[in-house]
Amino acid sequence: MSKRLLLLVIIFVSLLSSTYSRKNPELANFGNRVWLSATTPIHQFMHYFKNSGDSFLQQYVFLLDLKEKNQKLEDRLKNLQTDNTQLKEIEMENARLNTLLKFKRRKKLTSKIANVIAFNTRTSRSLMLIDYGKKQGAKPGQVVIYGNQLLGQIINSSRVSSQVMLINDPLSNVDCLIQESRTRGVASGNLIKGLQWNFVGQQQEFKIGDKVISSGLDGVFPKGLNIGIISHKKKNKNSLFQKVQIAPGVDFFKIETVMIIAGIKQ
């Protein structure tokens, strides 16, 4: 078989398999699960290594100059700083968990807490890896939030980890509305540009800085979750709809702990 013929066969097969996997994502999901199972321990190790490295830098390397000047003062300072860092960490963790609990109490949700272990920001996707897998009850479609901020939904799970499709992923669509004017639309992910708000008519009036929340009409995300704020809008006479961009309410890369909505209490 010549190389040219084989190339044509491969292109034909790839078109067929793309058409098939568009409707039935099981094959891609199976492969992804295997990949997740293989890479999760490395991600966890990297996460641990990164954190240990940070604390090593904070607690030892940056204090070397002081040690040379005054040993006693440095020792005392080192102890105090160690305590202080630990307390700050506890305080920050407390604040994070408090934010999550407040939302949970208000909405009467059954939920689980998970840690973020990695991000996968490929050229075409925006995904987050969390240490919450099938063992803990993870299922595709479960909603992931931080406080009142919507982060995305679980798309695939291995035994101990899950992949979360963030709301700025190009494949993510959230039915949403402006909190004040109740103008409705669909927010689609646009990677580094945040989210793009589609299907907003030219006659709809709103301003930059308006808060956007989930409408709950898509049947996936609960109503009232924060999505972000209007960051840019442009009217075009030749188009049916306005061009609107939404800036997400949080920087996804700074999130360490997330909450997974497992269900709503009856």
Partner 1 sequence: MKSLIKFFALSLLLLLLEQTLMNNIWNNLPTLNIIPILILFMAFYKDSLLALLFCCLLGLLRDFIIASLTGPGVAAAAITYFCLNSFSTHLFIKSRLVLFLTAFFSCLLFLYTESLYYYLFLGLTPNHWMILSSSLFSAFFTLLLIPLLRKYFVTDKKL
Q: How far is the CB of 157 from partner 1 (least distance, A)?
A: 12
CB 10 within 8 A of CB 18: no
Instruction: Provide the mask over 191-230, with x wherever binding to partner 1 is found by CB under 8 A and - wherever it is not.
Output: xx--------------------------------------
Phi, psi of 96 (to 5 degrees): -65, -45
Q: Is 15 among the residues that bind partner 1 (CB under 8 A)? A: yes
Instruction: Provide the mask over 98-137, with x wherever binding to partner 1 is found by CB under 8 A and - wherever it is not.
Output: --------------------xxxxxxxx-x----------
Return the beta strands (E) in the chain as ranges: 109-120, 127-130, 143-146, 149-157, 162-166, 173-178, 184-189, 195-198, 211-214, 226-234, 243-248, 257-264
Which residues inside 224-253 make contact with partner 1, applying CB under 8 A? 253
CB 260 within 8 A of CB 132: yes
Q: Which stretch binds partner 1 (CB under 8 A): 32-40, 59-67, 94-102, 208-216?
A: 32-40
User: Closest CB to partner 1 among 171 and 264?
Assistant: 171
Q: What is the 3-state secondary structure (H, E, C) of 101-165?
A: HHHHHHHCEEEEEEEEEEEECCCCCCEEEECCCHHHCCCCCCEEEECCEEEEEEEEECCCCEEEE
User: Closest CB to partner 1 among 120 and 179?
Assistant: 120
Structure tokens at 245: 């961009």
**Contact residues for partner 1 (CB under 8 A)?**
1, 3-4, 6-7, 10-11, 13-22, 25, 27-29, 31-32, 34-35, 38-39, 42-43, 46-47, 50, 118-125, 127, 155-156, 163, 170-171, 191-192, 253
